[in-house]
Amino acid sequence: MEFLTALWLPIIIISVVLFVASFVAWVILPHHFGDWKKLEKEQEFMDAVSGLNLPPGNYMYPMTHAKAEQNSDEFRERYMKGPRGVLSTWEVPNMGVNLGLTLVFFLVTTAIIAYITYAALGPGSDMFMKVLQIAGAIGVLTHASSGVLNAIWFKRRVIMDVVDGVVYGIIIGLIFALMWPAVAG
């Protein structure tokens, strides 16, 4: 746990900076505006879904958990006919809780990045580029790739998430490199 003693301040600073960068990326900058499309018949769709009284959750359609049904001609026909998709229904979001969980996510991932970088390098002087390389690369991997696998399967546009992740990784690497502890003398 020596890394926490040495790096607690940059971990907190990075987490707050990422939190602000995330806000800027999603609320102020326009690069996520095209991530979601508006339904042409939105009200008809909302009325139809409301009439189903679905509890909040994730639904895939057509769907079956039974292996025998998956192999049936009836299920294959429904699947090929379509539509195929995923529907997520939510309760009204609690912005305070969601923002708090976002900050916790950044704290945990940044602490893990600190641990890996510290385990690889330890404290030391003149390590700016090494810290930037390692912490930045892990930060890019963490934040740029987190949604890619999900997007492959569920066809969500993810390129701007990758761009955000690269920026977050650079932020992580720079702040750690600037604040890396020197060898105690």
Ramachandran angles phi, psi of 61, nearest 5°: -140, 140
Q: Where are the alpha helices (DSSP H) in the chain?
A: 2-23, 42-50, 67-70, 73-81, 95-121, 128-145, 148-154, 159-179
**Separation of alpha carbons 39 and 123, rounded Å:** 54
CA-nearest of 143, 167, 159, 146 to 32 is: 159
| 131-153 per-position pLDDT tens digit | 999 999 999 999 999 888 777 77
Looking at the chain, the whole-number percentage of residues with pLDDT higher than 90 is 71
- Give the confidence band of 104 by pLDDT, cuts at 50, 70, 90: very high
Pick from 8, 2, 17: which is nearest to 106 by CA?
17
Q: In angstroms, what CA-CA distances link 16 with 19, 42, 78, 83, 99?
A: 5, 37, 48, 42, 11
What is the tens place of the pLDDT at every residue in 116-135?
999 999 999 889 999 999 99
* pLDDT band at 184; cut points 50, 70, 90: low
At residue 185, does pLDDT exceed 50? Answer: no
pLDDT, tens digit (0-9, with 9 covering 90-100), for 10-42 = 999 999 999 999 999 989 998 888 888 899 999
Does the structure show a pLDDT above 70 at 101? yes
Taking residues 56-68, report their average pLDDT.
Answer: 89
